[in-house]
Structure 1
Amino acid sequence: MSEQIVIDPITRIEGHLRIECEIEGNEVQDARSVGTMWRGIETILKGRDPREAWIIVQRICGVCTTVHAMASVRAVENALELEVPLNAQYIRNMIVGAHCLADNIIHFYVLSAVDWVDIASAALKADPKSASQLAQKLSPWKRNSYQEFKQVQEKLKKLIGSGQLGPFSSGYWGHPAMTLDPDVNLVAAVHYFQALEFQRKLNKIVTILGSKTPHIQNLAVGGVANPINLDSPATLTLEKLYYIKTLMDEVRDFVHQVYMVDAATLGASYPEWCSYGKGNGTYLSVPEMPLDPKGMTFAMPGGYIKGDDLSTFRRISSSQDPYFEDNVKESIKHSFYNGDWNRHPYVEETEPKYAAGETKGAYSWVKSPSFLNEPAEVGPVASVLAMHAARFEPALKYSRAIFDQMAALGSSQVGIDILPSTMGRHISRCIRAAVVQDAMADQWDKLINNINSGDFTTFNAPHFPEGEQRGVGIHEAPRGTLSHWVVIESGKIRNYQAVVPSTWLSCPRGANDEPGYYERCLIGNPVVDPERPLEVLRTIHSFDPCMACAIHMVNPQGRKLSSMKVLA
């Protein structure tokens, strides 16, 4: 006999998401993903100056701020065929690299690890001495000391004893699906708190280069607003750049000696979760970190893979590649919008129409994207598989390292076939983080070398011709492929659409009634206790949902919520 469960809202994500599941025989038989807010940024942008769009679209989300700003300026530059100075590209690349690493680290430790790690067990049952010895055996990390482990355990005991668990409230502690040894739980708990410190270091990098975070202030259509003057402390100086290098080196140690080790340990400890949570085998990613003024070469590759077959890989070669630009569509067949269409973003509309009683089968505020008329998984799995298909050596190297560690901790060899899974998304995100860290360090070298050559240019002024221009800005964000689409007419925005990673993944059924990606990946998921559906959260959290990006907010009474003034 089947049983219906509803989780609303899904917590430890950005925004509002409702998941409905039909359970039979302790297994998910069917699922629906429901976005419960409306995104109205597209409407706000109509008629505005394209140069100010990036400032506004950062407000789509309080977490994914930088990524929307970057995709927006790239979209306008693409429409104008505007070249970006090399210094500006390198500065932008370091910003998106630091943002990505901060996002990945916090997702793993703060937003997802507590689906697998029993904090109560770490506090009450673990032996800090043996846990510290275990951590030292796994990694040379200098902060795997007994003193730090004991200190964290005492902190957790005080939280539990007070009854005020703070960020650990409402966890499914003691759930039968949590099977880690208490000492392993304590290792993860200690690294949880350390991860917060390294997120701060990464945010310092974003702040120095981007003027502030969240919501960076240094971008401009045509480059960045960072003047480079080695003699002026008010500009980007060598002292600031070398401080950034110090922070990068510290983060590298954490990524290699903590994050990668913990991800491998988690994967080896829950091998069954390397098979749950699989989608349709179609993957989409875009290249990232442009290395030339026109965005024709990149530090990291991207492309399209069909049917779980790497031999089908088709590289997306540049920010102007028609293979990507021509083949993205969005459907509103099952979404709360006016009409029933499947259109390219350049000609889409974003006109809300809430259908009470689910008229026309609509049940979500999220649209349903497709590539070549099929749904696709975006995110770290797609990115890492594309890098493997492209024989990109940094990804191959870090994949081998983490697979070897998983095999040493488990009982059998593993390979890239485990990546399209709930656990595989965490492993993929870790591999990509290591690749991004190396690429970010390389951007620092390139910037220093370019400055040493005498090039201090950071901005090329845009010019808006008469008539219509269309452009797309692509970015491989932490959650996956992000694209902003702009139609400019006589120097003003006529249409603007953002097709974001969580739209690709959290969408409802599409134009052909095929399930959305969350819906598809939940089928077959185990659920031991329907009253405590931890396993559903494991799969959903593995995607790192950002519903504020996929949707936004509307006041049903039509009242004005807030106002903002954008300075030209």
Structure 2
Amino acid sequence: MSVINTPNGYRLDNSGKRVVVDPVTRIEGHMRCEVNLDENNVIVNAVSTGTMWRGLEVILRGRDPRDAWAFVERICGVCTGCHALTSVRAVEDALDIKIPPNAHLIREMMAKTLQVHDHVVHFYHLHALDWVNPVNALKADPKATSSLQAVVSPHHPMSSPGYFRDVQTRIKRFIESGQLGPFKNGYWDNPAYKLSPEADLMAVAHYLEALDLQKEFVKLHTVFGGKNPHPNYLVGGVPCAINMDGDMSAGAPLNMERLNFVFARIQEMVDFNKNVYVPDVIAIASFYKKQLWGGGLGALSVMDYGAYPKVNYDKSTDQLPGGVILNGNWDEIYPVDPRDPEQVQEFVDHAWYSYPDETKGLHPWDGITEPNYKLGPNAKGTSTNIEELDEEAKYSWIKAPRWKGHAVEVGPLSRYTLAYAHGVDYVVEQVNRSLAGFNQLAGTNLDAKTALNSTIGRTLARALESEYCGDMMVDDWNELISNIKNGDTSTANMDKWDPSTWPKEAKGVGTTAAPRGALGHWIRIKDGKIENYQCVVPTTWNGSPRDPAGNIGAFEASLMGTPVERADEPVEILRNLHSFDPCLACSTHVMSEDGEELANVKVR
């Protein structure tokens, strides 16, 4: 390849030093990344690879569509619930099933709980160590750390010098034990880490607090869905009844005691978002004010189907409106229609799948998931021990989704870019307030587009969405209580549960604002069984390989132009990729290392 110019504006040069990161850790699934560095250690070529095949679309063929949610929910153990919600929405769309308002509100609270839980876990436990140096925290002055927190998050109750001294002692004992766990193999002497010792100590303290709280948040799933991970869902509504006069022994999981318990968990999320999570991201970002790289397609070419509908999944009531922005033009927002075969298409000319004509993309209703694993002629190594991939050939288990042929980024940053451009008041206020705080701490004067189009902006958008979801859940809970007080206790519509009421053939689509971005499931039903099922997930969009036109996806674009302090300690690569919260388990479509068939499942 040497040097090529891509249609979406990137100049790729694979003649420089090749750096391979395999696996990329602290994500869900299996991922490999290869980059080329120029003489200044700046990334000039990027190759992002999903290294496993999922195959659930194949498993679902011939099954009862009412059971699909239970299978697709197992795609991932982190974004638990969003695939089930999207699946039941797709089936309900195909069969024209309207769910009761209470079911909609309960589903929304479950979905928003997932957002908060996933975003908090992502930042503190998967992404923070790209910015925070726990070893450096041992040098901190606990009194100065307490003073710092008084500036950053003055309403957080755990902020005394004694508290931070105790945390510092715990860190010291942990490190001296030699059992470093999540801190093992870190690049702790790398100059790419910029926080002061006090900021590091504050962030590690909140890392530990988040560990305790995240298990409390998901208890909402156990109340409404019976368990977590993988709470229960139901085509037609939710699998929990309301009986305000009964107790738990009467068999009704929802009474006032349970609903008050839910509200207490929601309030915990609201408080942590406002007092800890959002202030931490702004404060940490201010130390990296000179490193506003990694935006790629973010805030410039973005897409979302729309998020958080208020009434019965009516897209006209989305609180975060969807759309597409291309090439940074925030003044023109294109509408998105997941049913349109010319809009959402998946390509496989650089993915390990086969199409009859690989120059053309397929809409998910017509999607084909046929594995075809083979390395390109210029790859180095073997099929079971790859040394270097050939990006001119097939190089990933991830397909390449495109919107009308355009590579776009999806995720919280995309939702927030669209909402800001649409003028959603809550989002505009959030972004402007956060940006003012960042500019004050960093001594900068950045506008929204400049700040958001970066790895830092992508991380901030995730925190702001978590804050918004917490606030929206308060409204959802109040509306549910109001419905119950008015005598409405319905949580399911079973009018079309019997397959004899279904048409001979039907097709539907469900979309959801998953934690990592725009999620869509497409289903075809024939004679009461699933004829075809396709999932196009956020990491498929973001982690896609190149398409027939040569466009690169969001992961690869975010890496371009990123400077690396040390080629053998590429923490900057991890920062960029982790900011997307990649879920390769969702995006890749299980084979043995030699590619032979492992199982043959027949459905009767």
Same-fold call, TM > 0.5? yes
Q: 1:559 Cα shift?
A: 6.3
- Work out whether residues 407 and 414 of structure 1, in 8 Å CA contact, stay in contact via their aligned partners in 2: yes
Aligned with 1:308 (options 328, 342, 364): 328
Alignment partner, residue 468 of structure 1: 505
Could you list the per-position Cα deviations for residues 471-492 of structure 1 after superposition, in whole angstroms to 9, with x for gaps in the alignment? 1100011100000010111111
RMSD over equivalenced CA pairs, Å = 2.0
Could you list the per-position Cα deviations for residues 109-154 of structure 1 after superposition, in whole angstroms to 9, with x for gaps in the alignment? 111111111111012x111121112112322210122222112111
Alignment partner, residue 410 of structure 2: 378
Letter in 2 for 1:337: Y
Alignment partner, residue 581 of structure 2: 544
Q: 1:294 to 1:193 in 2, by over 3 A?
A: closer
Alignment partner, residue 190 of structure 2: 175
Letter in 2 for 1:279: L
**Distance across 2 between alignment mates of 1:201 and 1:414:** 37
Aligned with 2:438 (options 388, 406, 424): 406
Instruction: Describe how 1:44-55 pairs up with structure 2 within 5 A.
Output: 44-55=59-70
Alignment partner, residue 523 of structure 1: 560
1:425 aligns with 2:436: no
**Distance across 1 between alignment mates of 2:143 and 2:26:** 31
**Distance across 1 between alignment mates of 2:220 and 2:101:** 19
**Distance across 1 between alignment mates of 2:528 and 2:407:** 34
**Distance across 1 between alignment mates of 2:602 and 2:219:** 27
Alignment partner, residue 296 of structure 2: 278
Aligned with 1:369 (options 401, 411, 415): 401
Instruction: Describe how 1:168-207 pairs up with structure 2 within 5 A.
Output: 168-207=183-222
Q: 1:349 Cα shift?
A: 0.6
- Work out whether residues 82 and 294 of structure 1, in 8 Å CA contact, stay in contact via their aligned partners in 2: no
Aligned with 1:268 (options 270, 286, 300): 286
1:504 aligns with 2:571: no
**Distance across 1 between alignment mates of 2:338 and 2:517:** 19
SS at match of 2:26: coil
Q: 1:261 to 1:294 in 2, by over 3 A?
A: closer
Q: 1:357 Cα shift?
A: 4.0
**Distance across 2 between alignment mates of 1:493 and 1:325:** 20
Q: 1:560 Cα shift?
A: 4.6
Q: 1:210 Cα shift?
A: 1.3
Alignment partner, residue 473 of structure 2: 440
Deviates more, 1:340-349 or 1:51-60: 340-349
- Work out whether residues 375 and 394 of structure 2, in 8 Å CA contact, stay in contact via their aligned partners in 1: no
Q: Equivalent pairs: percent with the same residue?
A: 38
1:331 aligns with 2:331: no
Letter in 2 for 1:306: L
**Distance across 2 between alignment mates of 1:352 and 1:458:** 41
**Distance across 2 between alignment mates of 1:199 and 1:94:** 16
**Distance across 2 between alignment mates of 1:43 and 1:52:** 15
Q: 1:256 to 1:41 in 2, by over 3 A?
A: same
Could you list the per-position Cα deviations for residues 502-524 of structure 1 after superposition, in whole angstroms to 9, with x for gaps in the alignment? 00011110131211221111110
Aligned with 2:270 (options 223, 228, 252): 252
Letter in 2 for 1:342: G
Could you list the per-position Cα deviations for residues 30-80 of structure 1 after superposition, in whole angstroms to 9, with x for gaps in the alignment? 010111101100000000000000000011111122110011001111111
- Work out whether residues 591 and 598 of structure 2, in 8 Å CA contact, stay in contact via their aligned partners in 1: no
Unaligned residue ranges in structure 2 (runs of 5+): 1-14, 378-389
Aligned with 2:234 (options 214, 220, 229): 220
User: How many residue pairs align between the two structures?
Assistant: 560
Alignment partner, residue 106 of structure 1: 121
- Work out whether residues 305 and 518 of structure 2, in 8 Å CA contact, stay in contact via their aligned partners in 1: yes
SS at match of 1:273: coil
**Distance across 1 between alignment mates of 2:481 and 2:203:** 37
**Distance across 1 between alignment mates of 2:473 and 2:549:** 41
Letter in 2 for 1:329: Q
- Work out whether residues 72 and 473 of structure 1, in 8 Å CA contact, stay in contact via their aligned partners in 2: yes
**Distance across 2 between alignment mates of 1:393 and 1:213:** 34
Q: 1:187 to 1:378 in 2, by over 3 A?
A: same
Q: 1:325 Cα shift?
A: 6.9
Unaligned residue ranges in structure 1 (runs of 5+): none
Q: 1:326 Cα shift?
A: 5.3
Alignment partner, residue 484 of structure 1: 521
Q: 1:315 Cα shift?
A: 4.8
- Work out whether residues 299 and 439 of structure 1, in 8 Å CA contact, stay in contact via their aligned partners in 2: no
Letter in 2 for 1:6: V
Could you list the per-position Cα deviations for residues 256-281 of structure 1 after superposition, in whole angstroms to 9, with x for gaps in the alignment? 11111111112211112323332272
Deviates more, 1:55-64 or 1:392-401: 392-401
**Distance across 1 between alignment mates of 2:341 and 2:311:** 20
Alignment partner, residue 8 of structure 2: none
